[in-house]
Amino acid sequence: MEEIDDIKTITEEYFDRFILLLPDLIGALLWLVVGWWIIKLLIKYMKRFFDKKGHDPALTKFLLNLANGALLVLLLISVIGMLGIQTTSFIAVLGAAGLAIGLALQGSLSNFAGGVLIILLKPFKLGDWIEVNGISGSVKDISMFYTKLNTFGNQLAIIPNGELSNENIINYSGEETRRDAITIGISYESNIKVAKDVIMDLLKEQEDILTDPAPAVVVKELADSSVNLSVRFWARNEVFWDRHWYTIEESKTRLEAAGITIPFPQRDVHFFNHSKEAPAENK
């Protein structure tokens, strides 16, 4: 009988506490809902402001995610404070937990720091074609921890930002124009001047090839099987590869039409018989 009375007393005590806490609990839940809505509204206006100012999309995304996370943490701390829990001790626990998580996730923190550096220093932006560690592709997304590239074969390459921020990067889209240098070999019997004139006429016909800097055709080297010409021109990034492939194909067609031979690697091999039994004329 005493046990039943004890249970009844404990139940009544906790129920009374719950009744006393109920207004604070309702207020905290309401503040949680309202605060969540306010945060979403603020993030929406921040995004609209960044878009209007024309900021880099990667930087905008990073700042919005950072602001959203910070505001949610502040909202959570304020809700806990409304419930009567000491926020000072909670913040201390949260800091200790953050330190422990940070030590356990050093690689991820390195990627995060790399992402911050990439977004702030802007070695590349969304849509740029870059090459790093033998991987090349168009930048699809820059997040806090990883950068995603679409390769030439439309594969998705995911590179950690920590690694990306410490490697040599070639940004092919960093400048508005690019210079090409195509090597074309002609035979030693062919007329170099005629070959250069044919290719130069081809370059001048193409409107997308820039005249300043001017295109040039020079003798690059005297190779084993050919005289190698270097065809050099400048073009805008958006038409660069079209001019590259067209110039290679059309150069072969026009050089052959002009009687210029484009040789393939070959060797002359001579055999000599030095045996004692061989006739004198074969020695």
Segments in the chain forming alpha helices (H): 2-53, 57-82, 87-104, 106-121, 161-164, 192-205, 240-257
* Structure tokens, 200: 């130069």
Neighbours of 188 (CB within 10 A): 12
Are the C-beta atoms of residues 180 and 232 closer than 8 Å to each other? yes
Please give the span between the terminal C-alpha atoms of the chain, in angstroms, as a whole number.
128
Model pTM score: 0.58
- Mean pLDDT, consecutive 10-residue stretches, the chain (283 aa), reads 59 62 75 85 84 71 79 80 66 62 56 79 87 89 86 90 84 90 92 94 93 93 91 94 94 93 74 63 50
Per-residue confidence (pLDDT) for residue 103, from 0 to 100:
47
pLDDT at 104: 46
Per residue in 121-152, pLDDT tens? Answer: 888 888 899 998 888 999 998 877 888 999 98
Walk me through the domains of the chain, giving residue ranges and CATH numbers: 2-104 (1.10.287.1260), 123-171 (2.30.30.60), 177-257 (3.30.70.100)
Question: 258 is written with which tokens?
Answer: 């002009």
Q: What pLDDT does 199 receive?
A: 95
